[in-house]
């Protein structure tokens, strides 16, 4: 038995690649699962594969089961006028890879999150013999970390650990009335405290203590 080895790269991150191997009889759903599992992607986000030409121009779409599996496709009736008909979309778990590969460098696109269209470029790089006792699909080689833009794992705030972030969130949730309550033990400045800053002696003392002050410029 044989396996396809695909090189997967991500358009938004230089130095990122995955070499993924799948059995020739496995489906695009298997391909989808190995990509999303490896990159910790949210599987509830609508995503699709696209058949493409050698320049990665989109052709036929292959969707997840449960997505709208019909699309409006233009057609021409006997009178030559363009009409609209319902065309069934291809479904990942119904599409074995070997039925869609007719080029030694076959190319596909994987679009994660159809709203933001994070794009992965996929190219068949080699056909290899399946290794005994190896489970497919598998990631044969991995370069670069998970793209931060698309990972479902939230990014921590710089310099804030989990405990600090929890305290920060608790402070943020305080109501305006709660913020007005200040313990007696805390020192605060009131109007009477500010009087000392209005005393001209305060400024005179500051001026006398400044050695670099140019009196001619006063």
- The residue length of the chain stands at 218
Q: What is the pLDDT of residues 104-157, one digit of tens each?
A: 999 999 999 999 999 999 999 999 999 999 999 999 999 998 777 776 544 443
* pLDDT tops 50 at residue 210: no
In which domain, by residue range, is 98 found? Answer: 2-70+82-143
Residue 190 lies in a domain: no
Residue 109 lies in a domain: yes
Q: Which of 86, 82, 61, 90 is nearest to 71 (CA)?
A: 86
Residue 138 lies in a domain: yes
Would you call 31 helix, strand, or coil by DSSP? Answer: helix
Pairing of strands 58-63, 118-129: unpaired
153 CB-side CA count, 13 A: 10
Number of domains in the chain: 1
Q: Is the peptide bond before 67 cis (omega within 30 degrees of 0)?
A: no
Residue 68's pLDDT is what?
A: 60
The tokens of 151 are what? 């990972």
Residue 172 lies in a domain: no
Whole-model pTM: value is: 0.63
Residue 130 lies in a domain: yes
Q: Which residue would you say has higher pLDDT here, 54 or 78?
A: 54
Residue 210 lies in a domain: no
Residue 125 lies in a domain: yes
Domain with 36 in it: what CATH number?
3.10.290.30
Residue 108's pLDDT is what?
A: 98
Residue 97 lies in a domain: yes
How far apart are alpha carbons 79 and 84 in whole angstroms?
A: 14
């Amino acid at each position: 038995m044989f396996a396809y080895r695909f090189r997967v790269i991500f358009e938004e991150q230089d130095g990122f690649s995955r070499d993924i191997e799948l059995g020739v009889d496995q489906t695009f759903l298997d391909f989808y699962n190995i990509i999303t599992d490896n990159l910790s992607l949210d599987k509830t986000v609508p995503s699709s594969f696209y058949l493409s030409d050698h320049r990665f121009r989109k052709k036929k779409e292959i969707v997840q089961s449960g997505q709208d599996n019909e699309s409006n496709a233009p057609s021409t009736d006997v009178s030559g006028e363009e009409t609209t008909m319902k065309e069934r979309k291809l479904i990942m778990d119904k599409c074995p890879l070997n039925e869609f590969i007719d080029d030694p460098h076959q190319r596909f696109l994987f679009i994660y999150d159809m709203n933001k269209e994070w794009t992965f470029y996929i190219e068949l790089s080699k056909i290899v013999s399946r290794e005994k006792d190896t489970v497919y699909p598998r990631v044969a080689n991995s370069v670069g970390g998970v793209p931060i833009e698309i990972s479902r794992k939230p990014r921590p705030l710089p310099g804030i650990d989990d405990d600090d972030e929890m305290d920060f969130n608790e402070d943020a949730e305080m109501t305006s009335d709660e913020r007005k309550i200040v313990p007696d033990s805390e020192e605060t400045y009131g109007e009477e405290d500010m009087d000392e800053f209005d005393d001209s002696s305060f400024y005179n003392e500051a001026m006398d203590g400044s050695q670099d002050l140019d009196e001619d410029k006063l």
